[in-house]
C-alpha cells in the first residue's frame, strides 16, 4: 500500500479529499527540500521511472524529470516522434518493452482520452497520467490547487473562475474535480461554444460575462484557446481578436476590479489572446510560482505512489 487510495494517478476523479491532502502535506516537505542548497533526497534510489511523451510538452515533461531526479530515481525519457511507434508498434508493446528493462513506474502524456487508464489495465507498472487528450491532467490540477492554498491559506469556500476554452481543456476538468473535492466554489466563463453542455452537473456555475466573473472571484485561472484541438468546419468563435476583446484579461480590466484577485495560467501562454503580457507579468500573477510548485507536487505524487512498489 502507498498511503493513497489508488495504485496509479489516472485522474483527480479517482482521488479522495484525503488523498489530495496527503499529497499536499508531502509536497510541503518537498518544497522545503527544493529550496535548500542540496535539492535532492535519496528516497527513490532503487526506483526506475520512464517518461513517455506522445504529445508535446515543456513544463510537465521537465517538471516530472526534475522531480524524479530530485528523489534520486533513475530516469529514462521517451519521445514518440523519435521512437519505433513511427514504425507501427502498439502502445502496449512499446510500454511492455520498456518495462522489460526493469522500469517500475510510467509517466505518460498521450493525445487520446483514457490512454492512461487503458495502459494501467494492460501492463504491470504504476501509471501516472501526465495529460490524456481532453480528459484529465491530474498533476496540473494538484499544483494549481496547491498554489491557491499557498496564496490564500485554504481552498474551502474560495471562489475560483476558470476562463476560456473549457470544451477542449483537460486542465479545466481536473481542476473542477479537485477544487470541488476541496470545497471551493467554481464558475466557468467563456463563449457558449467553448463550454460543454450540462457541465453544471459537476457542481459548477457557468457565466459568459468576464467582468462579472472577475468581480465575483478570488482566483482567475486563464486558459489557452486550444486551436490544435479545434479541427471543425464551422469555427467555435469568429476570430482571436473578438475572443480576446470579450474573454481576454488585460491590465485595465484587472485594475478596474474593486479588490485584488490571484491570476493563474497553466501555460503555455498565448500573450495578447487570453491574457495580456502585462497581466501575465503582473504582481498578482502567480504563473511562475505554479511552475515551481509543480516540481514539489510531482515529487509528492511519485514518492507516495512508489511506496506501493515491491522492492525485490
Ligand atoms: N501546463 C502544461 O501541461 O504545459 P506543457 O504542455 O508545456 O506540459
165-197 pLDDT, tens per residue?
A: 999 999 999 999 999 999 999 999 999 999 999
Section 104-122 average pLDDT: 97
Q: Retrieve residue 128's grid coordinates.
A: 501516472
Question: Does residue 144 sit in the same domain as residue 284?
Answer: yes
Question: Does residue 35 sit in the same domain as residue 118?
Answer: yes
Range of the domain at 132: 12-136+292-306
Q: Are 286 and 264 in contact (CB under 8 A)?
A: yes
311 in a domain, yes or no? no
Q: Is the pLDDT of residue 30 over 80?
A: yes
| pTM of the model as a whole | 0.96
Question: Does residue 160 sit in the same domain as residue 302?
Answer: no
Task: Give the distance (Å) from ligand 1 centre to CA of residue 89.
Answer: 26
How far is CA 101 from each of CA 69, 74, 110, 235, 306, rounded to the nearest angstrom? Answer: 19, 12, 22, 46, 17
Q: At what angle do helices 59-70 and 138-152 cross, to 10 degrees?
A: 80
Question: Does residue 131 sit in the same domain as residue 146?
Answer: no
39 in a domain, yes or no? yes
Q: Is the pLDDT of residue 230 over 90?
A: no
Section 19-26 average pLDDT: 98
Looking at per-residue confidence, does 136 or 241 come out higher? 136
Q: Which residue is closest in CA terms to ligand 1's atom 5?
A: 57
- pLDDT at site 310: 76
Q: Residue 79 belongs to a domain with what CATH number? A: 3.40.50.1370
Question: Does residue 112 sit in the same domain as residue 186?
Answer: no
Q: Is the pLDDT of residue 86 over 90?
A: no
Q: Is the pLDDT of residue 312 over 70?
A: no
Q: Which residue is closest in CA terms to ligand 1's atom 3?
A: 60
Pocket of ligand 1 (CB under 6 A): 57-60, 131, 137, 140, 266-268
Question: What total number of domains does the chain contain?
Answer: 2
Question: Does residue 132 sit in the same domain as residue 163?
Answer: no
Residue 2 pLDDT grade (very low, low, confident, very high; cuts 50, 70, 90) = confident
3-state helix, strand, coil in the chain (%, to 5): 45, 15, 40
Burial-class residue 38 by CB neighbours within 10 Å (0-12, 13-18, 19+): exposed
Task: Give the distance (Å) from ligand 1 centre to CA of residue 216.
Answer: 28
Task: Give the distance (Å) from ligand 1 centre to CA of residue 269.
Answer: 10
Section 26-36 average pLDDT: 98
> How many CA atoms are closer than 13 Å to the CA of 26, on its beta-carbon side?
26
Question: Does residue 105 sit in the same domain as residue 128?
Answer: yes
38 in a domain, yes or no? yes
Task: Give the distance (Å) from ligand 1 centre to CA of residue 110.
Answer: 12
Ligand 1 pocket test: pick from 142, 164, 165, 267 the residue with the most ligand atoms within 8 Å of its Cβ.
267
Tell me how far apart the alpha carbons of residues 71 and 300 are, in angstroms, rounded to a whole number. Answer: 10
Amino acid at each position: 500500500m502507498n498511503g493513497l487510495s489508488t495504485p496509479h494517478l489516472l485522474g483527480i476523479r479517482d482521488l479522495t479529499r484525503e488523498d489530495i491532502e496527503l499529497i499536499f502535506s508531502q509536497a510541503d516537505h518537498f518544497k522545503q527540500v527544493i529550496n535548500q542548497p542540496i535539492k535532492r533526497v535519496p528516497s527513490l534510489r532503487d526506483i526506475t521511472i520512464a517518461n513517455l511523451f506522445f504529445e508535446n510538452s515543456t513544463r510537465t515533461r521537465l517538471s516530472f524529470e526534475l522531480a524524479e531526479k530530485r528523489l534520486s530515481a533513475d530516469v529514462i525519457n521517451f519521445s514518440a516522434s523519435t521512437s519505433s511507434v513511427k514504425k507501427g508498434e502498439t502502445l502496449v508493446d512499446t510500454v511492455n518493452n520498456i518495462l522489460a528493462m526493469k522500469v517500475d513506474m510510467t509517466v505518460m502524456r498521450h493525445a487520446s482520452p483514457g490512454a492512461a487508464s487503458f495502459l494501467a489495465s494492460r501492463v504491470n507498472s504504476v501509471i501516472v497520467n501526465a495529460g490524456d487528450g481532453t480528459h484529465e491532467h491530474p498533476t496540473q490540477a494538484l499544483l494549481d490547487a496547491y498554489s491557491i492554498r499557498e496564496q490564500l491559506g485554504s481552498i474551502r469556500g474560495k471562489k475560483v473562475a476558470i476562463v476560456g476554452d473549457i470544451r477542449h481543456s483537460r486542465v479545466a476538468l481536473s481542476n473542477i474535480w479537485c477544487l470541488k473535492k476541496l470545497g471551493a466554489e467554481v464558475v466557468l466563463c467563456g463563449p457558449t461554444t467553448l463550454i460543454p453542455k450540462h457541465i453544471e452537473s459537476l457542481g459548477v456555475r457557468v457565466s459568459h460575462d468576464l467582468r462579472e466573473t472577475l468581480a465575483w472571484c478570488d482566483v482567475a485561472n486563464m486558459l489557452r484557446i486550444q486551436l490544435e484541438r479545434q479541427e471543425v468546419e464551422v469555427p467555435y468563435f469568429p476570430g482571436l481578436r473578438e475572443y480576446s476583446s470579450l474573454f481576454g484579461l488585460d491590465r485595465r480590466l484587472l485594475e478596474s476590479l474593486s479588490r485584488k484577485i490571484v491570476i493563474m495560467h497553466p501555460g503555455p501562454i498565448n500573450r495578447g489572446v487570453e491574457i495580456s503580457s502585462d497581466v501575465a507579468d503582473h504582481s498578482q500573477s502567480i504563473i511562475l510560482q505554479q511552475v515551481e510548485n509543480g516540481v514539489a507536487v510531482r515529487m509528492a505524487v511519485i514518492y507516495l505512489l512508489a511506496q506501493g512498489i515491491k522492492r525485490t
